[in-house]
Amino acid sequence: MELRHLRYFVAVAEEGSLTVAAERRLHTAQPSLSRQIRDLEYEVGAQLIIRGARGIELTAAGRVFLDHARLAWLSRCCPAKRPARRQPPSRRSRWAS
């Protein structure tokens, strides 16, 4: 599983539509995005979304996966959005020679 799969899944889930996510958010073709989501579902071993004429709906597995995907995406891609770790103060003063 690659980070792009997580990014794609989160975008589709948040937009509620493969087409809208592809065009407005991911700037890619809808058939390509649909294929990426199918590959992700195959890799996870569960159906994550139900495709319909008016958009998508998350399955129970999809709702659980969405929470984990968001956390994984933030921890891997956006370290600035994570809480800063407290660094211990340096023992040596910068003015010491």
pLDDT digits (tens, 9 = 90+) for 49-89: 999 888 899 999 999 999 888 888 777 666 555 555 555 55
State pTM to two decimals. 0.73
Higher pLDDT: 94 or 66? It is 66
Q: Model confidence over 2-35: pLDDT tens digits?
A: 888 888 999 999 999 999 999 998 899 999 999 9
Q: What is the 3-state secondary structure (H, E, C) of the chain?
A: CCHHHHHHHHHHHHHCCHHHHHHHHHCCCHHHHHHHHHHHHHHHCCCCEEEECCEEEECHHHHHHHHHHHHHHHHHHCHHHCCCCCCCCCCCCCCCC
Please check the confidence at residue 1 and state whether its pLDDT lies above 80. Answer: no
